[in-house]
Amino acid sequence: MQQLPTTTLVVTGEAIRQYAELTQDFNPLHLDSAFAATTRMGSVIAHGTMSISLILQSLAKAFGAEAVVNVDLDIRFIKPVRVDETLTAGGERESGDARRYAVWVRGVEGEDRLVGVATLGPAALG
């Protein structure tokens, strides 16, 4: 497969708060507007693993449920995600290796939020 199917998610403030509870990740950068205003971020941002989740969803759409089990991820966060942003994840196969995909999560204007490489485990391609 040359292109991964895309996956989209709207990251609401309520989702960020629930995500913090579930993962017990109460980093104030995700939850405390007053704190976030004192940082380089300026306002609260979403947990980065929410974006990584979209990559795994695109891989599962492409290669089946078990493709997420043994994948290697090499991820670089490019630009933080703000409340109520719509994210889209996807990826393209790298030339020369059927198991390697250049993956990305982008905002509505197409700007990268994270980029990376996902390498499928040996079983994923059957």
Closest residue by Cα to residue 75 from 121, 114, 107, 120: 114
Closest residue by Cα to residue 88 from 2, 1, 4: 4
Query: Can residue 70 be called a binding residue for a copy of itself (CB under 8 A)?
Result: yes
Query: Can residue 15 be called a binding residue for a copy of itself (CB under 8 A)?
Result: yes
Query: Can residue 73 be called a binding residue for a copy of itself (CB under 8 A)?
Result: yes
- Which burial class, exposed, middle or buried, applies to 113 when counting CB atoms under 10 A from its CB (0-12, 13-18, 19+)? buried
Query: Can residue 33 be called a binding residue for a copy of itself (CB under 8 A)?
Result: no
- Tokens describing residue 7: 């996956």
- Tokens describing residue 57: 């969803």
Which x/- pattern, by CB under 8 A, does the window 74-103 give for a copy of itself?
A: xxxx--x-----------------------
Q: Which residues would be at the binding site for a copy of itself (CB under 8 A)? A: 7, 9, 15, 18-19, 22-25, 27-29, 35, 39-41, 45, 47-50, 52-54, 56-57, 60, 65-66, 68-77, 80, 123
